[in-house]
């Protein structure tokens, strides 16, 4: 499914030329009048984050002058680097909570857009330090510098009735209070769940939705209203150009769905069928996580607080502002469609290395070495169609498989579960295609084992058991390396 | 009855049978076609395994010189690697631009058209299938018979399934069954009451494959090479009829002529067909009567382009149809661990009809016993490591089969074909398709019942392996200029005459007012024969 195409279909457009999402949104911003409402620059914190990067891209497309407060200017994400290279963007190096070194860089008339926040698995103390103290420090610096408008990006979680074990929500509520009681005219924005290409929150949900049985914490009937990162960025930039609202605006997407429906939609957007949901009791799991967090926070897959999404309705209060943008919002299914994965550059053609690889993989596949014709075909295909892996770990996996037939077996078992579209499996498929067309070896992909009937069934079961054992071993052996090199293959 | 030549555009199943009928009536026929020729079969006497053993480069033959039949894990999921020997059917790609939404069309410039890559299913429509048509089964029956006598169709006329297929002339005895199909049919005999209670029937396919010699063609000798191109023409493709037409001195075949549009007179009739050649030159063929048989989408493009070039805005044609296809692989438990016979007829020998009762609910299924298809696309689809999958596959190879289900379609306004300008004065075709709102529910109901019915035959169809193919993949396109009693400019009369132009006939699927689940190719041939017989 191509994003642009479905967008038009969902808009009920006639057969007009499809455009890219980004350009559509740049267009939708134009009526807002470029920097018409901005007296000064956009002073942005958290520009390196998921929403921040999109905000900078949107503001850059509208040619708005910007100042970005960043901790590590030397390691800017490529998108920010591109915006900086275009000009009109000042990079200010500094820590949010230590305003003294950069305070003087705030200019009169600046609109401060405060996106920086501690999220996810930060400790309660970190949440307080960054989200509360950082906001207070920024607000004071902004006031001292003569900023005209302070826009705080908060969270819909601040009004969850059930915030059990959720320091992020507490901290964000406190940050809102700092801004409300602070010296500057303000607008507070509470986005709902933010989705879009490579959205961090979506990766977590996609992992759950991709399982054969999808665990859903609680009854799955809480409602959410996810907003596309492009829409959120466009709305934030538009709000910065407006006079301070002096109030709190909640920003949500075009659809409200239950958690259960959300899981089905995520699977659907990835081409899989309806999810099989398993509802798990929320309260004991939250309690267990809260109990484990003090000791195991770094290794836990999620926190007790993050489960608040399953316990509360996360939908936005309607507002005139969002109503005016309704026609420009991305349909949910578009936001959920994963971006086309991009490959890393291929490794240089190395015939001896590929020969070793072909022999190890063939020995693993059929317990015999490849024929000369197969070896030649294997090399020819690699020479003619060099492709790189999606992640660096795949190169490690292939190097591991090359060691021996047994290493190949582990890598094979691992790749079918965790990298089914990856490079190692591609090589195995190629080898299989060469095997089945080999003048000598083709019967090895055709002939059944001796016996037949009940014996065949027992053999099949034996193969299944071996597969389970190999998979377990592969997960233990290769899983940690994979995790260390980038979670789930999405680097 | 010679005189002026009738101009026919396209050499697919509609075009060749239209032409053959006119030739039989004594007309002169001039056929314009791109006409990519089928490569000569190599080593016709060798079986499939023989090719693997004897050819100097079997990899090149089976996977292609450019590896085009290799199905890798990161390419779109199909269970077949398309045989390199049939690539000529789909290459080169459509030269004029195309933009699509929800539809993935295929085009062919082969002599013989898309049906050069068909699988031979030849199922006459019955009265229920033809409910929306201006003709009934009795009116079509003689033409089904006439086509069958030309091309040779084998199958049963007295089994359970035959009730869905009207009997016509020219049906040869059914082909010898392969072992797997025979077992399925044997098992069905024991559970047929249960099937019939579920309104389902299993029986022999009707296929355009000779079980007896016909017009100089040999009967099928079960080399197992069907998918790779029948080396003996026992399996019919339209290029066979084209070859026969070309032996007639009143037939003029002009390949390398890609018809872009019709030049219109001031009164809106067609004055000539304008064709582009590979060297870039444009040739104009004057004609008083033009028959478009280029296939539903190319014929639509020609008509729309003709209007656009005449200075009027091209309309948007509504009602494009195609059969949704669902592939349901299954395993016959009785054949686990058994050897398979690669020297057998490879396309479907059995078909099933499932009829839950609604007007558009009849589902037509074809059972293919997958023995000599490329193995690697199937093995990689198993949910295990490659070694385990291969080990399992070797033991289930003989037990594997594929049920290819076809669902009916009807004309809906949201499914459109139009033109849009691309800047330099030329246009590209734009196709938009949305499935019916109840399609998913209908499919789900049918698939559930069919899985149960397969289970009664001792066969397991794992749900994760069932795949709906994208719209456009079945290449059963129809419905852009529907036949009706009275209608607008872009409809046809009973004989396929386009009301807008008056002297242009649509002899392909364009004039079908509905699309039953049964493969349409045989009806394309019969309907084209009918039009040639009755309107000329």
Cis, bond preceding B238 (omega within 30 deg of 0):
no
Same domain, yes or no: B400 and B536? no
CA distance A316 to B346: 59
pLDDT band at A265 (very low <50, low <70, confident <90, very high): confident
How many angstroms away from the CA of B126 is the closest CA of chain A?
35
Residue B81 in any domain: the answer is no
CA distance linking residue A226 with residue B389, whole number of Å: 40
B387 close contact with A: CB closer than 8 A: yes
Q: Judge if B205 and B266 occupy the same domain.
A: no
Rounded Cα distance between B38 and B314, Å, is: 35
At residue A490 the predicted structure's pLDDT band, cuts being 50, 70 and 90, is very low
Task: Inform me whether the pLDDT recorded for A16 exceeds 60.
Answer: no
What is the domain count for chain B?
Answer: 2
Furthest-apart CA atoms within chain A: distance in Å: 86
Q: Classify residue B44: in a domain, yes or no.
A: no
CATH code of the domain containing B374: 3.30.410
Residue B525 lies in a domain: yes
Nearest to B337 among A420, A421, A452 (CB): A452
Residue among A329, A141, A153, A146 at smallest CA distance from A240: A153
Assess whether B131 and B1 both reside in one domain: yes
Whether residues B341 and B441 share a domain: the answer is yes
Does residue B27 lie in a domain region?
yes
List of domains in chain A? 3-194+226-253+315-331 (3.40.50.720), 351-489 (no CATH)
Other C-beta atoms within 10 Å of B382: how many?
18
Q: B265 CB near a chain A CB, below 8 Å?
A: no
Q: CA of B422: which chain A residue's CA is closest?
A: A17
Please tell me whether residues B231 and B242 are part of one structural domain: no
CA distance B26 to B33: 22
- What pLDDT does residue A165 have? 83
Give A232's contacts (C-beta < 8 A, 6+ positions apart): A51, A54, A191, A194, A251
- Is B445 strand, coil or helix? helix
Domain that holds residue B7: 1-37+98-152+238-322+414-431+480-536
B248 phi and psi, to 5 degrees? -90, 130
Q: Are residues B447 and B529 in the same domain?
A: no
Q: Is residue B61 situated within a structural domain?
A: no
Nearest CA in chain B to A413: B385
**Do residues A120 and A97 lie in contact, with contact meaning Cβ atoms separated by under 8 Å?**
no
- What are the phi and psi torsion angles at B245 (to 5°)? -60, -40
B70 and A CB contact within 8 Å:
yes
> Which residue, among A439, A454, A465, would best test binding to B if mutated, counting the most B CBs under 10 Å from its CB?
A439
* Domain assignment present for B157: no
Same domain? B31 vs B113: yes
SS3 state of residue B484: coil
- Residue B346 and residue B303 share a domain: no
Token pair, residue A312, equals 């509360």
Measure the CA–CA gap between A82 and A57, rounded to whole angstroms.
9
User: Tens digit of pLDDT per residue, chain B (536 long)?
Assistant: 557 899 999 999 999 999 999 999 999 999 999 999 988 888 988 988 899 999 999 999 999 988 988 988 866 545 566 788 787 887 666 666 788 888 989 899 999 999 999 999 999 999 999 999 999 999 999 999 999 999 999 999 999 998 889 889 999 999 999 999 999 999 999 999 999 999 999 999 999 999 999 999 999 988 888 888 899 999 999 999 999 999 999 999 999 999 999 999 989 999 999 999 999 999 999 999 999 999 999 999 999 999 999 989 999 999 999 999 999 999 999 998 888 888 889 899 999 999 987 656 899 999 998 778 888 988 998 889 999 999 988 888 899 999 999 999 999 999 999 998 876 778 889 999 999 988 888 898 899 999 999 999 999 999 888 888 889 989 999 999 999 999 899 999 999 999 999 999 999 999 999 999 999 999 999 999 999 999 99
Whether residue A113 contacts residue A153, with contact meaning beta carbons closer than 8 Å, is answered with yes
Q: What's the complex ipTM?
A: 0.80
Task: Write down the residue that tokens 């005139």 correspond to.
Answer: A320
Q: What is residue B360's predicted lDDT score, i.e. its pLDDT?
A: 67
Alpha-carbon distance of A325 to A250, in angstroms, equals 13
Which long-range contacts (C-beta less than 8 Å, at least 24 apart) are formed by A159-163? A159/A190, A160/A308, A160/A311, A160/A312, A160/A314, A161/A312, A162/A308, A162/A311, A162/A312, A163/A305, A163/A308
Q: Degrees (nearest 5) of the Cα angle A157, A162, A166?
A: 60
Q: Among A85, A60, A62, A80, which Cα is nearest to A70's?
A: A80
Do residues A69 and A44 touch, judged by C-beta distance below 8 A? yes
Terminal Cα-to-Cα distance of chain A (whole angstroms): 22
Same-domain check for residues B341 and B403: yes
**Which CATH number goes with the domain that contains B308?**
3.50.50.60
**Both B294 and B269 in a single domain?**
yes
User: Does residue B339 sit at the A interface (CB-CB below 8 Å)?
Assistant: yes
pLDDT classification of A268: cutoffs 50, 70, 90: confident
| Torsion, Cα of B490, B495, B496, B501 (10° steps) | -60
Integer CA distances (angstroms), B363 to B323, B351, B515, in order: 10, 11, 12
Q: 3-state class of A116 per DSSP?
A: coil
Closest CA to A436 of B321, B47, B91, B48: B48
Residue B89: inside a domain, yes or no? no
Q: Do A409 and B387 touch (CB under 8 A)?
A: yes
Same domain, B246 and B294: yes
- Tokens describing residue A397: 């996996």
B374 neighbourhood in chain A, CB within 8 Å: 433, 436
User: A461 touching B, CB under 8 A?
Assistant: no
Chain B interface includes A442 (CB < 8 A): yes
B196 and B110 in one domain?
no
**CB B394, CB A449: distance < 8 Å:** yes
Q: Which residues pair with A251 in a beta bridge?
A: A191
Residue A141 is predicted with a pLDDT of 93
Q: What is the pLDDT of residues A315-367, one digit of tens each?
A: 999 898 888 887 788 888 878 877 666 678 888 999 999 999 999 999 999 99
Query: Does residue A186 register a pLDDT over 80?
Result: yes
Full strand arrangement of the beta sheet holding B416-421: B98-101, B427-432, B416-421, B317-318
Residue spans of beta strands (DSSP E) within A374-456: none
Looking at CA atoms only, how far is residue B532 from chain A in angstroms? 36
Residue B161 placed within a domain: no
What is the mean predicted confidence (pLDDT) over A428-446?
Answer: 93
Q: Give me the half-sphere count of Cα atoms (radius 13 Å) on the Cβ side of residue B212.
A: 11
The answer to whether A456 contacts B337, with C-beta atoms less than 8 Å apart, is yes
Q: Find out whether A78 and A70 touch, Cβ atoms under 8 Å.
A: no
């Amino acid at each position: 499914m191509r994003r642009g195409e479905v967008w038009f279909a969902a808009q009920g457009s006639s057969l007009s030329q499809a455009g890219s999402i980004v350009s559509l949104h740049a267009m939708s911003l134009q009526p807002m009048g470029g920097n018409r409402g901005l007296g000064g620059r956009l002073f942005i914190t958290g520009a390196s984050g998921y929403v921040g990067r999109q905000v900078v891209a949107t503001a850059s497309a509208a040619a708005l002058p910007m100042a970005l407060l960043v901790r590590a200017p030397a390691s800017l994400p490529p998108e920010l680097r591109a915006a900086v290279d275009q000009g009109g963007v000042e990079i200010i190096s500094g820590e949010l909570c230590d305003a003294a070194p950069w305070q003087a860089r705030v200019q009169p008339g600046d609109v401060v857009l405060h996106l920086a926040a501690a999220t996810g698995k930060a400790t309660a103390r970190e949440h307080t330090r960054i989200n509360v103290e950082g906001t207070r420090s920024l607000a004071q610096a902004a006031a001292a510098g003569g900023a005209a408008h302070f826009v705080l990006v908060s969270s819909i979680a601040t009004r969850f009735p059930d915030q059990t074990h959720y320091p992020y929500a507490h901290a964000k509520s406190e940050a809102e209070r700092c801004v409300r009681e602070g010296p500057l005219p303000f607008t507070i924005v509470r986005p709902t769940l933010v989705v879009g290409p490579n959205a961090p929150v979506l990766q977590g949900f996609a992992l759950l939705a991709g399982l054969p049985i999808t665990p859903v914490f609680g009854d799955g009937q809480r409602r959410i209203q996810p907003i596309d990162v492009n829409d959120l960025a466009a709305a934030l930039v538009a709000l910065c150009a407006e006079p301070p609202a002096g109030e709190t605006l909640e920003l949500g997407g075009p659809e409200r769905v239950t958690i259960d429906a959300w899981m089905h939609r995520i699977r659907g957007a990835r081409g899989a069928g309806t999810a099989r949901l398993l509802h798990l009791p929320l309260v004991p799991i939250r309690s267990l996580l809260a109990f484990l967090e003090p000791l195991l926070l770094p290794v836990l897959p999620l926190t007790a607080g993050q489960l608040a999404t399953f316990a509360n309705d996360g939908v936005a209060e309607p507002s005139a502002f969002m109503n005016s943008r309704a026609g420009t919002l991305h349909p949910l299914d578009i936001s959920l469609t994963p971006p086309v994965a991009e490959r890393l550059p291929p490794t240089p053609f190395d015939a001896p290395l590929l020969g070793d690889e072909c022999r190890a993989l063939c020995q693993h596949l059929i317990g015999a070495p490849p024929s000369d014709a197969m070896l030649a075909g294997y090399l020819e295909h690699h020479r003619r169609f060099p492709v790189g892996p999606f992640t660096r770990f795949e190169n490690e996996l292939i190097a591991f498989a090359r060691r021996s037939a047994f290493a190949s077996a582990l890598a094979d078992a691992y790749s079918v579960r965790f990298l089914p579209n990856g490079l190692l499996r591609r090589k195995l498929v190629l080898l299989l295609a060469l095997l089945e067309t080999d003048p000598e070896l083709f019967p090895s992909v055709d002939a059944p084992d001796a016996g037949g009937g009940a014996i065949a069934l027992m053999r099949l079961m034996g193969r299944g058991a071996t597969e389970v054992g190999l998979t377990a071993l592969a997960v233990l052996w290769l899983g940690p390396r994979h995790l260390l090199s980038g979670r789930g293959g999405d680097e | 009855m010679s005189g002026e030549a009738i101009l026919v555009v396209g050499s697919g199943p509609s075009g060749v049978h239209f032409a053959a009928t006119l030739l039989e009536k004594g007309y002169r026929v001039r056929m314009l076609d791109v006409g990519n020729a089928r490569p000569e079969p190599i080593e016709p006497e060798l079986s499939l395994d023989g090719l693997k053993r004897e050819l100097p480069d079997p990899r090149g033959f089976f996977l292609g010189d450019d590896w085009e039949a290799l199905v890798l894990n990161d390419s779109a999921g199909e269970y077949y690697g398309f045989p390199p020997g049939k690539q000529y059917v789909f290459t080169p790609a459509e030269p004029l631009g195309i933009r699509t939404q929800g539809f993935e069309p295929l085009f062919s410039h082969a002599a013989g058209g898309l049906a050069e890559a068909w699988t031979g299913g030849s199922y006459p429509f019955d009265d229920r299938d033809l409910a929306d048509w201006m003709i009934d089964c009795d009116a079509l029956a003689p033409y089904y018979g006439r086509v069958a006598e030309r091309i040779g169709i084998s199958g049963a006329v007295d089994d359970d399934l035959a009730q869905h297929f009207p009997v016509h002339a020219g049906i040869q005895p059914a082909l010898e069954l392969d072992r797997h199909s025979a077992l399925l049919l044997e098992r069905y005999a024991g559970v047929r009451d249960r099937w019939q209670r579920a309104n389902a029937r299993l029986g022999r396919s009707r296929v355009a494959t000779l079980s007896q010699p016909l017009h100089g063609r040999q009967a099928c000798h079960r080399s197992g090479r069907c998918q790779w191109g029948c080396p003996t023409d026992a399996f019919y493709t339209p290029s066979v009829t084209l070859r026969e037409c070309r032996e007639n001195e009143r037939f003029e075949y002009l390949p390398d002529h890609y018809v872009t549009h019709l030049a219109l007179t001031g009164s809106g009739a067609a004055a000539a067909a304008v064709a582009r050649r590979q060297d870039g030159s444009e040739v104009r063929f004057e004609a008083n009567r033009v028959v478009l048989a280029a296939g539903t989408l190319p014929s639509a493009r020609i008509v729309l382009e003709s209007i656009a070039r005449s200075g009027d805005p091209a309309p948007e044609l509504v009602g494009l149809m195609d059969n949704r296809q669902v592939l349901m692989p299954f395993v016959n438990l009785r054949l686990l661990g058994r050897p398979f016979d690669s020297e057998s007829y490879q396309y479907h020998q059995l078909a099933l009809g499932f009829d839950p009762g609604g007007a558009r609910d009849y589902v037509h299924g074809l059972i293919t016993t997958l023995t000599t298809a490329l193995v690697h696309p199937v093995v990689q689809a198993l949910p295990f490591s490659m070694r385990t999958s291969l080990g399992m596959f070797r033991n289930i190879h003989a037990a594997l089969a594929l049920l290819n289900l076809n669902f009916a379609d009807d004309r809906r306004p949201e499914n459109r074909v139009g033109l849009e300008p691309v800047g330099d004065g030329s246009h590209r075709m734009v196709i938009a398709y949305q499935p019916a709102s109840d399609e998913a529910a209908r499919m789900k109901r049918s698939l559930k019942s069919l899985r149960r019915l397969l289970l009664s035959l001792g066969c397991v169809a794992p749900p994760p392996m069932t795949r709906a193919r994208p719209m456009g993949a079945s290449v059963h396109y129809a419905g852009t200029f529907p036949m009706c009693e009275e209608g607008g400019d872009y409809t046809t009369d009973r004989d396929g005459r386009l009301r807008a132009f008056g002297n242009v006939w649509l002899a392909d699927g364009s004039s079908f007012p509905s699309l039953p689940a049964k493969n349409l190719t045989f009806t394309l041939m019969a309907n084209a024969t009918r039009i040639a017989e009755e309107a000329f």
